[in-house]
């Protein structure tokens, strides 16, 4: 790869700035044989990664990686993250001292690509789509207030699964299983798996649990309550009304992660679970 785009977290602490400085020094040492650019700050919904980029390097946490993924959706861009946040499940590199080796491997294509499935979401109102988006981690349907419990029906492939009273519901990809879904009591899945995880949030029922579905299943959520919001990967919420249909399926696009380490997902999970 010869064209890199470095995205720096808006929470640019000393560690982030030092990492940025070292990356810039290394890429400059290649002269005109390697091109790179740097963006620093918040990635809004309208932000787009330049079309000629081969590799995006994010410096920050999982939030930075998620927002970067949105900015290159549907394009064959490879991503690698340097963790300068908290948990950093999505970032490949946590501890780094040898920037020479890191950049050399990227420039010489000395790595593996791991594809992660993504989710597609839409909201239908009176027979027409009023919202479309996608997610690497999850699609959340939640309350737009902090007082009332919401009620919603869940259908899988057209069959009624259940009617829930809860604070919300999250539909997660395998990558997102270590995010909001996990906090809501959902299972952890290997990021290379192909499946959907449906997890009610604080359900008003003792026996309600997460459900693991096939990647080919179609989840349709019909809220009975008003004052709701749908959000993909934590982006700004969009209003959902009673009677709307929130439809979540597997996206036809995948995200490409660069893998440098030989460590398995279980090795990474063990290390992350030690963090308090």
pLDDT attached to residue 262: 63
Q: Is the pLDDT of residue 12 over 60?
A: yes
Closest CA relative to residue 249, chosen from 179, 180, 166, 157: 157
Both tokens of residue 42?
């918040």
pLDDT attached to residue 276: 46
Q: Strands 112-125, 128-135: parallel, antiparallel or unpaired by DSSP?
A: antiparallel
Q: Is the pLDDT of residue 92 over 70?
A: no
Query: Please, what is the Cα angle at 135 between 200 and 103, to 5 degrees?
Result: 130
* Residues whose CB is less than 8 angstroms from the CB of residue 240 and which lie 6 or more positions away in sequence, other chains included: 123, 141, 223, 228, 229, 230, 246
What domains can you pick out in the chain, each with its CATH number?
3-111+260-273 (3.40.50.10330), 118-252 (2.60.200.30)
Classify 258 as helix, strand or coil. strand
pLDDT attached to residue 71: 86
Specify the pTM. Answer: 0.87
What mean pLDDT is reported for the chain? 89
pLDDT attached to residue 128: 96
Q: Which residues are catalytic?
A: 62
pLDDT digits (tens, 9 = 90+) for 155-175: 999 999 999 999 999 999 999
Orientation of helix 14-28 relative to helix 99-107, angle to 10°: 50
Name the percent of the chain lying above pLDDT 70: 90
Classify 122 as helix, strand or coil. strand
**In the block, which residue shows the tokens 């939640």?**
142
Q: Tell me the residue length of the chain.
A: 276
């Amino acid at each position: 790869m010869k064209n890199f785009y470095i995205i720096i977290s808006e929470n640019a602490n000393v560690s982030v700035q030092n990492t940025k400085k070292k990356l810039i020094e290394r890429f400059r040492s290649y002269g005109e044989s390697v091109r790179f650019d740097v963006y620093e700050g918040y990635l809004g919904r309208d932000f787009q990664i330049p079309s000629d980029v081969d590799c995006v390097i994010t410096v920050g946490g999982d939030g930075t990686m998620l927002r970067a993924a949105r900015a290159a959706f549907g394009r064959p861009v490879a991503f690698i993250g340097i963790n300068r946040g908290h948990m950093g499940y999505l970032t490949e590199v946590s501890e780094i001292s040898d920037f020479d080796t890191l950049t050399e491997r990227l420039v010489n294509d000395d790595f593996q690509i791991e594809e992660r499935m993504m989710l597609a979401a839409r909201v239908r109102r009176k027979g027409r789509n009023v919202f479309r988006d996608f997610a690497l981690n999850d699609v959340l349907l939640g309350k737009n207030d902090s007082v009332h419990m919401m009620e919603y029906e869940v259908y899988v492939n057209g069959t009624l699964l259940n009617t829930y009273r809860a604070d919300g519901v999250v539909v997660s990809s395998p990558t997102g299983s270590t995010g909001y879904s996990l906090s809501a009591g959902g299972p952890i899945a290997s990021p290379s798996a192909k499946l959907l995880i449906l997890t009610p949030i604080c359900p008003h029922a003792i026996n309600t649990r997460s459900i693991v579905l096939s990647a080919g299943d179609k989840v349709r959520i019909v809220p009975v309550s008003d004052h709701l919001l749908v959000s993909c990967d934590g982006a700004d919420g969009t209003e959902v009304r009673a009677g709307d249909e929130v439809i979540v399926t597997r996206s036809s696009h995948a995200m490409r992660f660069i893998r440098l380490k030989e460590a398995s997902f279980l090795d990474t999970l063990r290390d992350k679970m030690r963090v308090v």
